[in-house]
């Protein structure tokens, strides 16, 4: 009876030990997916920031055909947009420095800031058509 019990215990331990391989593989693939997602996200944000730069330059060009008071107001708005964009760029640089575990927190804040930049640009653009 002791032999049967010992054999059963051995088999149970052996089977449970065999199940460890896929878990570590799955964990590695999750981190690879996270790294891939992170790289894709960073590329997408940097592309959006370049797009904002072009759009703000378009506001600069539009400013030239306006009266002096409107030019001054638009220039102030453009400076504010550039300051916001610079702050977002700083967060992107910070995103490069954070760990894979905490980058989702920084990503959420960055998404909010980009949405606010987009909204601010839309307001300035609509007010100066």
> HSE of 3 in the Cβ direction (CA atoms, 13 Å)?
0
Highest mean pLDDT among 6-10, 59-63, 125-129: 59-63
- Specify if 2 maps to a domain: no
pLDDT digits (tens, 9 = 90+) for 12-62: 555 555 545 444 444 445 556 577 888 899 899 999 999 999 999 999 998
Q: Are 62 and 88 in contact (CB under 8 A)?
A: no
Residue 13 covered by a domain: no
- The answer as to whether 43 is a domain residue is yes
- pTM, rounded to two decimals: 0.71
52 lies in some domain: yes
Q: Total domain count for the chain?
A: 1
Q: What are the tokens at 28?
A: 């590695």
Structural domain contains residue 3 = no
For residue 13, the model assigns a pLDDT of 56
Asked if the structure places residue 10 within a domain, the reply is: no
**Residue 28: inside a domain, yes or no?**
no
Contact between 78 and 59 under an 8 Å Cβ cutoff? The reply is yes
Assess if residue 25 is contained within a domain. no
Provide the residue range defining the domain that includes 69.
34-127
């Amino acid at each position: 009876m002791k032999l049967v019990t010992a054999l059963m215990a051995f088999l149970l331990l052996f089977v449970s030990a065999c199940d460890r391989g896929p878990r570590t593989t799955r964990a590695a693939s999750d981190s690879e997916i996270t790294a891939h997602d992170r790289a894709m996200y960073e590329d997408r944000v940097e592309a959006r920031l370049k797009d904002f730069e072009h759009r703000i330059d378009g506001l600069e060009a539009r400013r030239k055909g306006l009266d002096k008071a409107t030019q001054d107001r638009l220039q102030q708005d453009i400076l504010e947009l550039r300051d916001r964009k610079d702050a977002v760029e700083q967060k992107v640089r910070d995103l490069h420095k954070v760990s894979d575990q905490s980058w989702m927190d920084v990503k959420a804040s960055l998404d909010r800031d980009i949405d606010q930049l987009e909204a601010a640009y839309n307001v300035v653009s609509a007010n100066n058509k």
